[in-house]
Structure 1
Amino acid sequence: MSRFIEQLGFDYKRLFARNLKYPFFVMLMPIMFYVLFTKIFTFGDAADMASFHKTYLTSMIVFSVMLGGIMSLSTLMQNDRSVGFVRALSMTPTGTRNYYCSLMVLMTLLNMASVIALSLVSIVVNRTDLTVLNVLGMMGLLIIGSIPVLALSILYSRISSPQLLSIVSNLTVFPLAIISGLWWPLQMFPAWLQRIGTASPMWAMNELMGDWIQDRPLESDAMVNLAGWVAATVAVFAIVALKGRHAGRSRRNHDR
């Protein structure tokens, strides 16, 4: 446990304390978009606008998760691989377990901070009616829903070229945000594109958080969608971990 705490402290310093632009970028861009869009688009009566403010709040929270995971965290891990840091850790007694767990914990804390920051902006700027329970519920859903995003960031970190990683990340985040209904309602798109959008975990996460803070029953399709993505992600990680453990034992037996 002490080694994990040491790893957590080390990663905190290089992720946040010595790199303030990282959390600043992850939270500031969604906040800017939220304020801009909710002030530009005005329609309907007060009830319609109040609903829109909540809908766009959850969209920008999910967008923040995508920025932090797919674009920022994958770049950090890719750099760790390129300089041999991950390989060096893999040769230690604890391997890379503490490394990945530390980054996942820190990203979860950053995602929770994004929920708080965006919620406060929404309350101050648009006088959105949010309770502490609303915010805590969004955090809980976000912890579960961010699992596939964090898994994708680990996958992308294996791209060897930083330039290629940047291209792939940008081609993933922004198109996926659009087809998942984070920018505009899915009803605006063709039926075939709507089917693709509703299959993404980002759509499910956004839908469930929107239902939660607007006191609607949670969308069953979204729950099935998100549960499927999380289960598949956990299963893949379990298989990879078991194979890695088996390979490690084989190497140790061979060395003997």
Structure 2
Amino acid sequence: MPQKITLITRPQTAFELPYSEGYQLYSAILNVMRGCDEAASKHAHDSSLSSMSISTLEGKFRRSQRPKCKVVDPAGRYTFHIGITDPKEIEIFRAIIQPLVLQEQEIILDKGALRVEEVASSTEGFEEMVAWAGMQGSSFVEFDFRSTTCIQYRNTKVMEMFPHREAVFSSLLAKWNAVCPEALKMSLDRDEISRYLMEEPLSYETHSAMVNTVFDRAKGHPRPILKQGFQGRCRYIFAKEAPKDVRNAVLALAKFAEYSGVGSAVARGCGAVRVTMGEVER
């Protein structure tokens, strides 16, 4: 059953972060889990299911003197979300919550630490998402891509640089079918997505996100591993003749997106979204 944990944190001191800090958060959360349940931490890291999604920090940052960096302010609070879609979500959830909440452990990043001040969680079953979708009459879904979204074009190394409907919903469909109960797997195909949805970008820009570092032996220091993608807001409007089953599938996948993230590197801060539904004014 998909779960989402919202953590509101505060730094004890000012310290610097890269603009793409998701990979640091991911490493820190794995370390937190490892101290509580090493098996759950290893499973989350090794799983081919993209079992966790982690958003970037949201809050007011100070300017850094270094390019592509920002500084957290101890006077401010910073929020991020962890989505869990893995079938072992109970073990993963417990391995995160127990150290951070019950033991008041800090989240240790490269140059400083975040202390958790508030925690909230929500959960929603796959059956609930499908039932909810069947009761909606929305004519569009709107995605706010909160962090750089990196979607590979099929099995190539080419990255999508535009929030195309086929790319976004094919990514979500693959994530859904990888973790949902067998009876709820969807057979929505790319032609149906392209035929019955239209995208309307509302704001849009391209970015590179740092998803990891690797030690460069030639230069003697770590170098970043970057992924390209897009960020912004895009509305996906149903065609008038869109069948009910296609509408329901798209709405359920949109609901699921807030837990799973969109595209690759979602555990490292990429592909975090907020989704709203509505009616097109005519």
Q: TM-score range by the shorter chain?
A: under 0.3
Q: TM-score scaled by structure 2?
A: 0.25
Q: TM-score scaled by structure 1?
A: 0.27
Structure that is richer in helix per residue: 1
Structure that is richer in strand per residue: 2
Q: With a CA cutoff of 8 Å and minimum separation of 6, indicate the structure with the bigger relative contact order.
A: 2
